[in-house]
Amino acid sequence: MDKAAQTMIDNLEKNTGKSLEEWTQIVQSSGLQKHGEIVKFLKNDHGFTHGFANMVTLKAKGTDAGSAEKPEDLIEKQYKGKEQLLPIYEALVAQLKQFGNDVELAPKNAYVSVRSKKQFALIQPSTKTRLDVGINLKGREAEGRLENSGSFNAMCSHRVRLEQTEDVDAELIGWLREAYEGAR
């Protein structure tokens, strides 16, 4: 389990007085089956935020948002059929790891979340020929390659499209460093 997931579980008990196991029992005894119904129940009846409601729902339903799989398996799944994008991903990760020991890569099913104290970027193989980097730079105007994220991902304010290793350049790393500094 990654640090962020464990912190969230710890905070659930701290904020509600009940453990994750107790909440899963409450959900299971509610008789609700659909994901959306359970999330709504936890938010409306118990004052949960969406993140906590989603986590408890996944646990109660026996799924764990991809954390049941090893991180390397999730990366392999993301790049299946898109293997030519892996050198871009690896070049980007090498640069991100130079920011500091607090940079955490958390692979999900479709993307890799990049965080320090909070998420500041994500890396997603969007097509067979393009890797998208979502960056949290709230209040920054879009310029050139730094586009508004639009419908790409609501967790990021901007997106940069990468098609070759050379796209991992000083300009991109500068935007990522700015986002990293803002997340610390």
Q: Which long-range contacts (CB under 8 A, 24 or more apart) does 51-59 make?
A: 51/8, 52/8, 52/11, 52/12, 52/15, 55/5, 55/8, 55/9, 55/12, 55/20, 56/12, 56/20, 56/23, 56/24, 56/27, 57/27, 59/20, 59/23, 59/24
Mark whether 53 and 83 lie in a shared domain: no
Helices 20-30 and 3-16, axial angle in degrees (round to 10): 70
- pLDDT tens digit sequence for 95-120: 999 999 999 988 888 899 999 988 99
Which structural domain range is residue 28 located in?
A: 3-60
pTM of the shown model = 0.65
Mark whether 110 and 178 lie in a shared domain: yes
| Contact by Cβ (8 Å): 178, 137 | yes
| Contact by Cβ (8 Å): 39, 54 | yes
* Domain CATH for 133: 3.90.1150
Calculate the CA dihedral of residues 149, 151, 153, 156 and round it to 10 degrees.
30
**Which residue, 60, 82, 104, sits at the end of a domain?**
60
pLDDT tier at 67, thresholds 50, 70, 90: very low
